[in-house]
Structure formats: C-alpha cells, structure tokens
Amino acid sequence: MPEPVPADTAEEGPDAPPTDGESGSTQLSGLFVEKPPPSITAVTGMDLIIIAKVDSTTLTRKPTMKWLKGKWLDLGSKAGKHMQFKETYDRNTKIYTYEMKIIKAVAGDSGGYRCEVTAKDKCDSSTFEISVEAAQQEAQADIFSAFKRADAGEDDGDLDFSALLKAAKKKKVKEEPQIDVWELLKSAHPSEYEKIAFEYGITDLRGMLKRLKKMKVVEPKHSEAFLKKLESCYSVEKGKKIVLRCEVMDPDVQVKWLKNGQEIKPSAKYIMESLGNVRTLTLNRTTLADDAAYECVVGEDKCFTEVFIKEPPVTITKLMDDYHVVVGERVEFEIEVSEEGAHVMWYFEDIELQKDSPNYRFKKDGKKHTLIIQEATLAEIGMYHAWTNGGHTKGELEVEEKQLEVLQDIADLTVKATDQALFKCEVSDEKVTGKWFKDGVEVLPSERIKMTHIGRFHRLLIDDVKPEDAGDYTFVPNGYALSISAKLNFLEIKVDYVPRQDPPKIHLDTTGNMVSQNTIIVVAGNKLRLDVEITGEPAPTVVWSKGDKVIKDTEGRVRVEARKDLSCFVIEGAEREDEGNYTICVTNPAGEDKAMLFVKIVDVPDPPQNVRCLSVGEDCASMIWDPPVFDGGAPLKGYLMERKKKGSSRWTKLNFDVYESNAYEAKRMIEGVMYEMRVFAINSIGMSQPSLTSKPFMPIAPTSEPIRLTVHDVTDSTCTLKWLAPEKIGAGGMDGYVIEYCKEGDTEWVVANQELCERQGYVVRGLPVGEKINFRVKAVNIAGQSPPAVLSQPVTIREIMEYPKIRLPRELRTKYIRRVGEKINLTIPFQGKPRPVATWYKDGEPIDPKMVNVRNSNVDSILFIREAEREHSGTYELVLQIENMEDRAAIVLRIVDKPGPPVKLRVTDVWGFNAALEWEPPKDDGNCDITGYTIQKADMKTKEWFTVYDHNRRTNCTASDLVMGNEYMFRVFSENLCGQSDDACLSKNTAVIAKTDLEHKRSPYKEKEITCVPKFTQPLVDRSVVAGYSTAISCAVKGFPKPKIVWMKNKMIISEDPKYLMRNYQGVLTLNIRKPGTFDGGKYSCVAVNELGKDEVECKLDVRLATDPDKK
C-alpha cells in the first residue's frame, strides 16, 4: 500500500523546523473536497464529530481512509464505545463521507491527529489539532435550583449547600505562561527527551527530534577528553551488527557507555573494546529495543549519538488459496511469512478486519498466519487480502447455499369425516426446520392439529378431519427455496334416493398449470395430479389413453385413480417421454363425452457441448462452447462457468450473474498453470448438469526476442546466422524459430524457413550475389511469435576467399592402430573458402571406393571402413585444394590381428625334476610386435593342461617341479596387442622324469562297522501358526541301513494328500503343510524304521485365526 507524505510538514509555516529530507514514494493529490478544521476545541464530557469528504470521480477503486493520532497510532484498532467511525457514499455526487466520533471527550483525547486517504497510486492527508477543555458552570437564573438535592421533586426537598462548601475548598489554579517546547528540547539533555514528551503530551517525539536536529546549528565545542566524537546518528538493519566508535585523548582513560541514560554492562550483546585511543561499543544482533540514544562518558565530558533500527521487509513465502464452500462450512485462509512474529494485516475487500470481530478469528503459529471463518455466510463472499510491510497476497471466497434433498415426499390423502390425516416427509438434514401451509396460509398448532419434528422426519397430524380441512398442504424448509406439497381430499358420502339418468360431462379446470386451454406444463421430476370432475347418472365409465394406448394401471408411476365424481390422472416423477396428447373418454347409457389434453414436460437443459479454448494470453484464455442439444423445453437464459487447476478438485465460479453469450474470456489466471473449464446451461427451470471438462489449457505469453544475433558465415548465395535463446521463455516453452530477410530499402520480409528451426543457427540459401540483406529472427511458442531480433546493419552477400587448412586431430598425428573387424570412422576437419575439394590417397594411389567410404562436407571429410581388414593397413593422405592452393595431411593406419602359433617347439634337456624348452617365433605376428608367450604342460596320463609361465618374452624356458615317474608334453601360445593366438605349438618330443629306488608300503585297511539303529538327532518342536499361511515342521534322523520314514497326524498315517509335502534330504525330514486351517491343528509324529529298530518323535501344532489390528 502506498505511504503518503506526512501532511503536517506541508502545512506548517516558514518558521517550522525542516524535515529530514526524505520524501514519500507517492505525491500528494487533492482528493479531499472537505477537510477537518485545523484546530478543534471540545468540552470534557461532550461528544465530538470530525468529518472529511473525498471525491471518487477520478478514482478507479474505492479509497481507503485511516485516522491516525500523532504520526503512527492507527485509531482503527481503538474503535469501541469511546471512539466510533462511520463511512457513507453518495451515488449521485460520488462523494465518500468519513466521520470520526469521540463520545464523551476526555483530556487524554487532546493532541495532533491526521486523516489519510489512499486509492491505488494516489493519496492525500490532512492534519488537525484537538484540544479538550474543562466544562464551565453556567450561571442559573434561579439560584435555588442549583442547590436542590438530586433526588427531590419539583416542589419537594430541602436546599443543599454542600456544593458551595466543596467549591470553597477548591484551590484556585494559577494560569501558567505558555512554554515553548522547541526551546525546552534544545536545551535539554537527550536522556530527558522522553520525560518532556510525557509531560507535554508529545506523541511524535521521533519526528520532533529529527526537526530539532536540523534546527540545532551549534558551534562545535572543543572537547578536552575526545579527539573524535561519535557520529550524530547510526542506522542499521534489524538483526545486523553495528559498531559505535570514538577516539579519546588519553589512551589509558576508562569510559562508560550509557543507553537512554542507563549504564551498559558488558555481555554477549554489548561488547566494549579499547585499542589505543579508540573506544568501541559493538551491538550484536540488533533488535527494535536497541533503537535508542547512546552516550560515551569520560569523566565530566560526554558525546552523544542515536541509533535507528530499520526493520527488514517481511515477505510472504506461501500465498493464499481460493476457497469454494457452502453456507456453514469452516474456511481457513493460511499464509506463511519470512519471519516469526511478523505483523500481518487482514482485509476483506477494502475493509481491515479487526481482532474483536465476532465472525473472524486470527491464529499465529510461528511463520504461519491463519484467518478463520467458523461458519461461512453469503455476506462473506469476496476477495480477502493479507498485507505485510514487504508483500501482499489475496484469495477469493465463494459461498454457495446448501442443497437440501427430499428423501421421502408427502403422499396425497383421502379421508372420511372424523378420521385422522397424517402427512409425513423426510429431508436430508436433521437440523432443518420448516413451516406447514394450507392453500398458502400457515398452519398453526391446536388441540386437533399437531406438528412434530424428529430427526429428518417432519409430521403434520390432523385429528377428527372436517370438510374445511380439505386442500393443498405444503411443507417449506426454512432457508431453502424448496417446497413439498400434497393434497388432502375429504370423502363425503352422499346417497341419491331418486335415480336419474344424465349424460356424462367432463369439467376441466383450465387454471393452475395450464398455460393455454387443454395444455399442461410439468417440470421434469415433479408430480402431476390432474383431478377431473365428471358428472353423469348413472356413474360414467372413464378411460384415459395416450395416443392409441389405453392407460389402465391403478398403481405405479403413471396411474389412474377413480373416486366419486372425480377421475385422477397421476404421473409421479414426470419424465420427458411422458410428454404427449392424452384423451379422457367418459361413457354411460345416457351418452359419451371426450376431452383432449396436451402434457408438456419441461426440464433443465442438457449440458453445453464441446467446451474448448481458442486462444490464451499471459493470464487469460478465450473459451467457446456449443449450446446444449436439448434446451429442456424452455428458452435458455444463459450460462455459468467454472474453472479449476488440473489435478485439483476445487472448482471456482467465474460468474455469478447469468452470462448470455457462448464465448467467454477467463481472466486472473496464473501463467504456466494447467487449467480446466466446464459450463452449466440455465433456463427458467434450473441449471443443467456440468458439461464435459475442457481439454487442459495453459495461460502463456510469447517469449522475449532472441539475443546476440550474429553472422557466422557468408557465401555467394548463402548466409549463416547464429543466436542465443531468449532471456525470458516463460511457461509456454520454446517450439522453434522463424528466420526472415529483406533487401535493404524494402519493407516486405520473406520467411526463409518453411518449418520451425529448432537449433540456434540457420543457413539462409538462395540469396542474390552482391545484395545487401537485412535479417531478423523470431522465437515461436504456442502463444505466438516473439518480438524480432534484428541485425544492426545489412549483410553483403559475397564469398570471402580463405586458404585451405587441414585441422588434423592430435590422435591421428601418430600411428593409428585398430583391430581386425572393428569399425573405423575418421573425421578430419578443415577450413577454406570457397568450398575446398578433398581427395584421399592410399600409399600414393587413389583409394578404392569398394574398400573405403569417403564423405566430404563444407567443413570436414570422413573416412569410413565398416569392418577393418589387414589389407586396409597403409598410409592415407588427404589433399585439400582450392584452385591453385592446397594443403596435405597423412595418416598411418595399421590393422592388427592375433598372431599365429610359435614353431619348432622341442624339449632340449631333462634333468632331475626339470625340463628345458626352446621354440621359434611365429611366422605371422598379426601385423604388430609379439609381446610374450604362454607355456603349458600336461601329464600323458591325465592330459590336463596347466600353465607354467605367462607373458614369457624369450623363446626358451625351463619347466620345474615336475613329478617323478610322469611323462610330460608341452605347448606354447604366442601373444600380441590383440591377445593370444588361437592355436598352440605342441612339442615334438616329451620329457620323462625317471623314478628312483623307492617303495611305498601300504597299511592294511580295516573295514568299519557303520550299521546303526534309527535315532532322531533333532526332535520336532511345538509350533503355533496363523491360519491361511503355509508352514513346515522338521526334524533330523540318522540310521543305517537307511530307515523308512512315516508321518502321522493324531496317530493316523498321512497318505499322499496334496495338502502335505514330505521331504528327506540327507537325514533332514520336512513336512510342508499348505495353507493350514483350524482343523489342521493337532499332534504330528514322525517314525523312522529299519531292520535294527525304530524311533519316534512328536510335536503339537496349534493353528490360530488371524486378527485385524484395526478392530482392536
């Protein structure tokens, strides 16, 4: 909200002290047409009214008025019995009238006041003074009346002279001369400022001190104790640190620091330091309490300063949400601010909400602030605002009336005299009350008529029914536009003694629902009851029919009820298919009569069709839809629109008045948020069901223009442009770019690309040689094209000559080695203009295109071999030519493969447990150096190969640790960069390790007795399991010969039941029970039997039902 400049500085005379020089952000404008008088005098105990008027003809929104006392005290928070505020508006003159009423003024109401009006970017203010004087006793003509007792009558009572006695005791007050507060402040010590302000009623002490500072032009006194005094004032943000610094004459002197005249003690908050002649006071983590006057005292000498604490702006970190509720629901507007304990002001529309308001509650929880409406009403529909000194947010509240549902309708009754009639209905809300009406007149309870309300049921009981009780009875719930009706028919028995014969006659009542003769309009879902009076003697036969179909049902939704002299045609819950021509035909021996009726069913319309979004803006969207297929039989009045955020379930109304057009522009949306919309159609009957939700749409705006548009390259017919993405893209993202050009001097721009360019560069082709061309680039997204980025000057289309130069990559400057079968893809970049001619050679000859593929572009040449072979090895040379200029680069390519096996492997010598081997290198080294050999040995008995040496670089080796008496053969693999050779070279001879004279004597073998009686080493264990969950029981047994295992349940052998699975793995016995039930519980035993004996173990299995933890 804008802060006005204090008007008191503008209205003071030329002798008034100047202000601090700071001007407000909003200039004063003449909004007031009537201001309060600058000086107002009131009498103690009397009421005082101050009036201000504001002209709103030039304002775009309602102005806001604040009444202030002093400079900052907002009197809105003081409203009550003593002080009241009133606001009125004249629609003819468009003038707002504001009143401030002080009831029974007291001396404390004296002082300076200001009224301040703001409206968006305009503001105005006016200051005035109120002085309250003591009441003076007026002289009375009849002096005796002044002394009568207060409780005496006109002619009664004795005189009371006590008033004179009391008056005599009063001391006469001497009139004191007026004191100039400015002179008093000039000569006073700063520590006495607050005392003077309290004594003389100064409410704006800080403002006066600022002016006093400007007024004081005092010659600086020479100080004997200070070399440099404190600055006149300091300013610091709340929470920050500030250092007060001065210099003294004596480096050893002790100083005292005072705050508002009170000595400061050293602490973590206040740190006092002394360094040579410098004395400092550091205030850590300043708060508003540190806003005060400070002194540094050296003996009798002092220096002063004032510290001002600036409170940082409080921002809103969590914005307010919109609410859509029904009457009576609780609403909580919640926000979060950047600091705890921050002051938040709540507004409804332009009215500030006070804490004493009965309809609103305010809650603070740390940084969370909540406005609570306990029970929402229709009067609270509108926009709610939350303000801090650094932020603002708002949320909209929409309140709908509750919908009441009728669960049981009232049935028509036909009763005889002295019988009892009972009307009963049921509604959906137990708390709803209502009234009963008969033929539009409220029914009052009596001894014969009783009305009850129990839960959702409402009953009307009529005892001893009389003829005058017949009529239409209606129940109307309080607070709802709803009524439930039924008819009470009084059955009167008549006896005709004289038989007669009259022809039948139909008496149609053309009033009521009939819009024209013989036409009846019924709202779909309502009940139609048509009572047709029929006369004739003898009683005629009545036949109702729709078209050619006769209606004979006496029960059901569509039925005919016969009564004396009446034929009742009833349709319960009328539907569209009930519409049509109905015929009533009455016959008796004396004749026949017919009547035609047309029943028209009207209903709410069908939902609108095909709701869609045509276009979007930054915070708006244009929507359109098709009218409903069926208008319900009544003309459409218009539409209601709702929208919501995608994924949310809270719909927000867009209009409260019926909107007639089928095109609508939705506003006040958030860019980048997906929205959905639906539409309701309305006719005279009511509102349709909602339409199908529209496809999600997003309010978005075009991006900003691309930046840094430059020319990258120019040829005789092309121009290459490059640029950077826009700084502001927005929620719509980026679809691509459009490049346009035109000749210098022309105004017609030509689009260079038919499809959007997704990269940040483009080559414009087909340009005329030598022409000067202007270029521009536009960014495109779903919202449209951005403003163009234009080159600062036109570009001349002409080729620039550049020498050919090959940029050979670093890895290709040495020998390039690849394995057989690998893919080779060499990219050699180069430069030169016009486009150079690139030619490849291999070993001085042009390359064979069948063996090597080459692709050349404007900036590089690519050599590609799909599967490398040995014959691809060689020296490749790239020659780059532009007319008579050229550049060359050579690449040595070597294709390597696994080597062949070594040759001529032989055992040259055998001694002890060792054998010496020699061989020759392989004939094929795989086109690269041999890196080593792998030597393996094998016993002639087992012929299993074991590695003796890995990566042996020599062509000979010695195999050691051979086993005596064995004969060995050897083989050798060769290795290179590609790996080990596929084949090995076998030795032509073997190495035999001779035996010595040794004899091994074996100890005699004694066979061990291993037969054993079955014995369980691990018994079965009792278990408790949950029904429905598979389980297993297990044990372990030993015995030889292998025992036979038998499982039993309750001493009954378990046969091959699929519910049980029995396993035996190395003596571990397991019985798996699949999904046991309570009947599977019992004693289980396992018996092991062999020819030597048997053993048995058993356990108890308890199966319990599963319990639901939520039911506990």
Could you read off the pLDDT of 523-578 as tens digits, one per residue? Answer: 888 888 888 888 888 888 888 898 888 888 888 888 888 877 788 888 888 888 88
Q: What angle do CA 944, 945, 947 make, to 5 degrees?
A: 150
Region 402-423: mean pLDDT is 82
**pLDDT given at position 329:** 84
Region 508-515: mean pLDDT is 54
Region 837-844: mean pLDDT is 90
Three-state DSSP class for 678? strand
Region 41-55: mean pLDDT is 89
For residue 354, pLDDT beyond 90: no
**pLDDT given at position 956:** 93
Say which DSSP state 28 is in.
Answer: B
Within 10 angstroms of residue 509's Cβ, the number of other Cβ atoms is 11
How confident is the model over 909-959, as pLDDT tens digits? 998 889 999 999 999 888 898 999 999 999 988 889 999 999 999 999 999
**pLDDT given at position 1087:** 94
How confident is the model over 626-675, as pLDDT tens digits? 999 888 888 889 999 999 998 888 899 888 888 999 999 988 888 888 89
Q: Give the lowest-confidence range in 8-12, 260-264, 271-275, 1100-1104.
A: 8-12
How confident is the model over 973-1002, as pLDDT tens digits? 999 988 999 999 999 899 988 876 666 677
Say which DSSP state 938 is in.
Answer: E
Rounded CA-CA distance 1090/1013 in Å is 7
Region 123-145: mean pLDDT is 67
**pLDDT given at position 143:** 39
Cα-Cα end-to-end distance for the chain: 58
For residue 9, pLDDT beyond 80: no
> What average pLDDT does the chain have?
83
For residue 1017, pLDDT beyond 70: yes
* Residues above pLDDT 90, as percent of the chain: 25
Q: What angle do CA 885, 886, 892 make, to 5 degrees?
A: 175
**pLDDT given at position 168:** 38
**pLDDT given at position 681:** 94
Which residue do the tokens 């009328």 mark?
Answer: 574
Q: Which of 150-159, 502-511, 673-682 has the highest mean pLDDT?
A: 673-682
Rounded CA-CA distance 654/680 in Å is 11
For residue 809, pLDDT beyond 60: yes
Say which DSSP state 606 is in.
Answer: P
pTM of the shown model: 0.31
